[in-house]
């Protein structure tokens, strides 16, 4: 291929090239030369400036030390402070994955530690942070990310070859089709097509639909979608209404790359494995099994925020922080050579929160924006965060003071960490000493947050680095993982219970409501969106009796909603986001909202920005140029 030939021509003879390969959009140089491996920065800088591609140098299998010797060398270099937990060698990739409690100690000032490791071991080191919380679920997710490096090397090279296929010359057109999430919340899925490419954005389930029903899944049988022609899938974030059907694509024959951030990949593994477990536990079947999750993970590519990545011959991807949950990304697709730019927001929050920074608006060009409208209705206004915190804590303390239990249904990822952060602040100020029980996938999600602090707010980063202040490691916070432990919670006194699912569509929250909903001393506090058709929406709307596991349960506990914890932007924040984009879009599509809210937001954005807006329906296709 031309790129590889160009790089080879630009490298000096003493580079001793053993192999040149693509790694998706990057180019990897494998060298037999110790000198070139250890000192190549200036040469590679010049090569990159000429070929306009990322180029990385790694040792060939002839060069690096044997793993046993290399591990011994590594232990001699690192101090106990680093907290070395594991070293994983991937000979085919020339990589040594170092898992440590304190990556900064391994990396050293300005990378001096990594350079010493290279010199002593002749491996290419990659450092990963060990979660501060032990979690079998996280361990399993991380195992999957390093499986079968030989396959991955060949797969990434094939992806790179397809990306660099010569573009055909013809009519340049772009079409976007809604396969789910249009005029509804749930089963988000969009297909972007050009003459060259087919790229899918998200593929989720509809949590409020009957499991196994047609309404539960996107329209993957749409005539314009052929999985054999699909070039790439991009996942904005790991909530089930966006990621829940990703493994199904691989079950049905898709064999290409999945692009997302590292936290999103790991959370997707956790949530989809849990989805399978819950389906089996309720006597049903998931639409895929763990082998399809593994297949997806082996094909996942994880760009950093802001990194421009070629994903097809005529599309470049850039992911930027969306402020929704850890690792969540705004998806920017640049089509052709300046032909068109699409911004798919997924879910986003244009406000700083306890855990995350506000969504990024720095996009040089955006012609078409596809924005969520979960809270896009005329009356949708978030309560200011300080006010929400006070309201929540007041409700909590009122309930606890009269000997009751506080049940807070939360999504395992996002809202649970926001609430926990608020309670941790109260603990730090010695205002609070009641037990906080966490149930469902929350413990695993917390563990993952401690592994990726760089995706969190500066405040939380600082707390994680000072372990005694970490909101995820508190004596009061106790994980629950069995029926006997839940029984103990019921038998104990006043407490707070953070439990999944966030919209009461299943999971351990059902057990807590079955036992506690009839007691007026207790309270139920909603801090997140309740899907239309969900049990949570029924309770929020005033249901005085519900059915759980075939049993009628009276709802006598105090029910309240606190809106300021939402991980979504409200109407005004969406408007502000669109106005503050570096480049104002020419066209805006609204999605991921109830029908009335999608139309209302589209109408308002048209009046304010004077651009074309619409609220497309599922299976509607729009040509963009």
pLDDT at residue 170, as a whole number: 62
224: CATH:
3.60.15.10
CA distances from 422 to 359, 476, 521 (A): 21, 13, 23
pLDDT at residue 1, as a whole number: 56
Same domain, 579 and 548: no
Q: What is the dihedral of CA 226, 227, 233, 236, to 10 degrees?
A: 70
Q: How sure is the predictor about 464, in pLDDT bands with cuts at 50, 70 and 90?
A: confident
Residue 310 confidence (pLDDT) above 80:
yes
pLDDT at residue 266, as a whole number: 94
Q: Measured between alpha carbons, how far is 202 from 373 in angstroms, rounded to an integer? A: 16
Q: Cβ–Cβ contacts within 10 Å for residue 250, how many? A: 23
Q: Which range, of 65-79, 81-95, 152-166, 280-294, averages the lowest pLDDT? A: 280-294
- Decide which of 531, 565, 599 is a domain's last residue: 565
Q: Measured between alpha carbons, how far is 406 from 328 in angstroms, rounded to an integer? A: 29
Q: How sure is the predictor about 58, in pLDDT bands with cuts at 50, 70 and 90?
A: very high
Dihedrals φ, ψ of 369, to 5°?
-120, 135
Same domain, 310 and 266: yes
pLDDT at residue 533, as a whole number: 83
pLDDT at residue 169, as a whole number: 57
Does residue 350 lie within any of the structural domains?
Answer: yes
Residue 286 confidence (pLDDT) above 60:
yes
Same domain, 526 and 584: no
Does residue 507 lie within any of the structural domains?
Answer: yes
Closest by CA to 227, choosing from 291, 164, 179, is 179
- Decide which of 547, 565, 583 is a domain's last residue: 565
Summarised one tens digit per residue, pLDDT across range 489-515 is: 999 899 999 999 888 888 899 999 999
Q: Residue 234 contacts by C-beta under 8 Å, 6 or more apart in sequence?
A: 199, 200, 201, 202, 258, 259, 260, 311, 317, 331, 333, 344
Same domain, 146 and 121: no
75: CATH:
3.30.300.20
What are the respective helix, strand and coil percentages of the chain, to the nearest 5? 40, 20, 40
Same domain, 245 and 358: yes
Does residue 386 lie within any of the structural domains?
Answer: no
Residue 3 confidence (pLDDT) above 90:
no
Q: How sure is the predictor about 168, in pLDDT bands with cuts at 50, 70 and 90?
A: low
Q: Containing domain of residue 334, as a range?
A: 142-164+173-378+568-623
Same domain, 201 and 116: no
Does residue 136 lie within any of the structural domains?
Answer: no
Summarised one tens digit per residue, pLDDT across range 400-425 is: 999 999 999 998 888 899 999 999 88
pLDDT at residue 483, as a whole number: 87
Average pLDDT value for residue range 264-269: 95
C-beta of residue 82 within 8 angstroms of C-beta of residue 107: no
pLDDT at residue 127, as a whole number: 97
Same domain, 413 and 337: no
Computed over every residue of the chain, the mean pLDDT equals 93
Alpha carbon 284 to chain centroid, angstroms = 27
Residue 560 confidence (pLDDT) above 90:
yes
Average pLDDT value for residue range 590-602: 97
Average pLDDT value for residue range 304-314: 97
22: CATH:
3.30.300.230
Does residue 371 lie within any of the structural domains?
Answer: yes
Same domain, 276 and 323: yes
Residue 565 confidence (pLDDT) above 60:
yes
- In order, the DSSP letters of 539-594 are HHTT-SEEEETTEEEE--SEEEE-GGG-SS-BHHHHHHHHHHSSS--SEEEEESS-
Same domain, 281 and 429: no
Summarised one tens digit per residue, pLDDT across range 349-367 is: 999 988 999 999 999 999 9
Same domain, 617 and 585: yes
Same domain, 196 and 86: no
Summarised one tens digit per residue, pLDDT across range 392-401 is: 999 999 999 9
Tell me which H or E stretch contains 38: helix 34-38
Compute the residue count for the chain: 625
Does residue 414 lie within any of the structural domains?
Answer: yes
C-beta of residue 623 within 8 angstroms of C-beta of residue 175: yes
C-beta of residue 457 within 8 angstroms of C-beta of residue 465: no
Summarised one tens digit per residue, pLDDT across range 314-349 is: 999 999 999 999 999 999 999 998 899 999 999 999
Q: How sure is the predictor about 468, in pLDDT bands with cuts at 50, 70 and 90?
A: low
Coil, helix or strand at residue 41: helix
461: CATH:
3.40.50.10890
pLDDT at residue 137, as a whole number: 80
pTM flag (> 0.95): no
Closest by CA to 415, choosing from 518, 525, 277, 307, is 525
Summarised one tens digit per residue, pLDDT across range 181-227 is: 999 999 999 999 999 999 999 999 998 888 888 899 999 999 999 99
Q: How many domains does the chain have?
A: 4
Does residue 207 lie within any of the structural domains?
Answer: yes
Residue 70 confidence (pLDDT) above 60:
yes
Same domain, 613 and 551: no
pLDDT at residue 321, as a whole number: 98
- Decide which of 516, 531, 565 is a domain's last residue: 565
Q: Measured between alpha carbons, how far is 352 from 576 in angstroms, rounded to an integer? A: 14
Exposed / middle / buried, residue 116 (Cβ in 10 Å: 0-12, 13-18, 19+):
middle
Contacts 24+ apart (CB under 8 A), 270-273: 270/137, 270/138, 270/141, 270/238, 270/412, 270/441, 270/444, 270/445, 270/448, 271/238, 271/239, 271/240, 271/243, 271/244, 271/412, 271/413, 271/441, 272/240, 272/243, 272/244, 272/246, 272/247, 273/137, 273/140
Residue 135 confidence (pLDDT) above 90:
no
C-beta of residue 407 within 8 angstroms of C-beta of residue 525: yes
Q: Which range, of 266-270, 281-285, 481-485, averages the lowest pLDDT? A: 281-285
Closest by CA to 440, choosing from 386, 479, 387, is 479
Does residue 330 lie within any of the structural domains?
Answer: yes
Average pLDDT value for residue range 541-565: 91
């Amino acid at each position: 291929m031309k790129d590889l030939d160009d790089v080879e021509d630009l490298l000096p003879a003493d580079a001793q090239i053993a192999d040149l390969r693509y790694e998706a959009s990057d180019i990897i140089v494998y060298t037999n030369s110790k000198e070139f491996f250890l000192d190549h920065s200036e040469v590679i800088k010049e090569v990159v400036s000429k070929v306009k591609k990322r180029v990385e140098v790694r040792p060939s299998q002839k060069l690096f030390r044997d793993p046993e010797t290399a591990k011994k060398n590594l232990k001699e270099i690192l101090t106990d402070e680093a907290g070395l937990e594991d070293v994983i060698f991937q000979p085919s990739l020339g990589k040594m994955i170092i898992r440590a409690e304190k990556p900064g100690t391994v990396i050293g000032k300005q990378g001096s530690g990594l350079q010493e490791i290279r010199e002593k071991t002749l491996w290419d080191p990659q450092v990963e942070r060990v979660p501060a919380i032990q979690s079998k679920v996280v361990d399993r997710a991380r195992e999957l990310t390093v499986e079968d490096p030989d396959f991955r090397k060949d797969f990434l090279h094939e992806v790179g070859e397809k990306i660099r296929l010569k573009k055909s010359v013809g009519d340049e057109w772009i079409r976007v089709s809604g396969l789910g999430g249009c005029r509804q919340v749930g089963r988000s899925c969009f297909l972007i097509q050009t003459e060259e490419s087919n790229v899918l954005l998200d593929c989720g389930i509809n949590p409020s639909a009957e499991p196994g029903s047609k309404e539960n899944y996107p329209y993957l049988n749409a005539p314009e979608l052929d999985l054999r022609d699909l070039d790439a899938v991009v996942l904005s974030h790991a909530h089930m209404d966006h990621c829940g059907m990703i493994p199904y694509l691989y079950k049905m024959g898709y064999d290409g790359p999945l692009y997302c951030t590292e936290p999103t990949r790991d959370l997707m593994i956790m949530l989809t494995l849990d989805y399978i477990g819950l389906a089996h536990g309720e006597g049903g079947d998931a639409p895929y099994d763990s082998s399809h999750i593994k297949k997806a993970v082996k094909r996942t590519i994880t760009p950093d925020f802001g990194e421009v990545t070629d994903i097809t011959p005529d599309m470049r991807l850039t992911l930027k922080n969306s402020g929704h949950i850890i690792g969540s990304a705004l998806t920017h697709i640049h089509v052709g050579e300046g032909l068109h730019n699409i911004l798919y927001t997924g879910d986003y929050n244009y406000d700083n929160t306890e855990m995350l920074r506000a969504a990024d608006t720095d996009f040089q060009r955006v012609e078409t924006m596809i924005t969520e409208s979960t809270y896009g209705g005329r009356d949708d206004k978030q309560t200011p965060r300080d006010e929400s915190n006070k309201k929540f804590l007041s409700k909590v303390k009122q309930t606890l003071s009269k000997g009751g239990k506080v049940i807070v249904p939360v999504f395992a990822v996002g809202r649970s960490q926001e609430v926990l952060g608020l309670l941790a602040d109260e603990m730090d100020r010695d205002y609070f000493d009641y037990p906080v029980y966490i149930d469902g996938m929350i413990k695993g999600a917390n563990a993952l947050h401690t592994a990726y602090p760089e995706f969190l707010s500066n405040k939380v980063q600082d707390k994680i680095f000072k372990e005694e202040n970490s909101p995820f490691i508190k004596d009061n916070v106790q994980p629950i993982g069995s029926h006997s432990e839940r029984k103990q919670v019921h038998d104990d006194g006043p407490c707070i219970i953070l439990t999944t699912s966030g919209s009461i569509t299943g999971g351990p929250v059902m057990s807590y409501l079955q036992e506690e909903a009839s007691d007026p001393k207790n309270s139920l506090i909603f801090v997140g969106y309740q899907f239309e058709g969900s049990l949570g929406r029924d309770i929020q709307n005033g249901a005085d009796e519900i059915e759980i596991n075939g049993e009628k349960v009276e709802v006598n506990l105090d029910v309240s909603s606190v809106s300021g914890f939402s991980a979504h932007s409200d109407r005004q924040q969406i408007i502000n986001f669109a106005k503050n984009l570096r480049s104002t879009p020419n066209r805006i599509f609204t999605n991921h909202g109830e029908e009335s809210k999608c139309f209302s937001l589209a109408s308002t954005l048209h009046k304010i920005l004077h651009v074309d807006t619409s609220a497309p329906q599922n299976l509607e296709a729009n040509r963009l140029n």
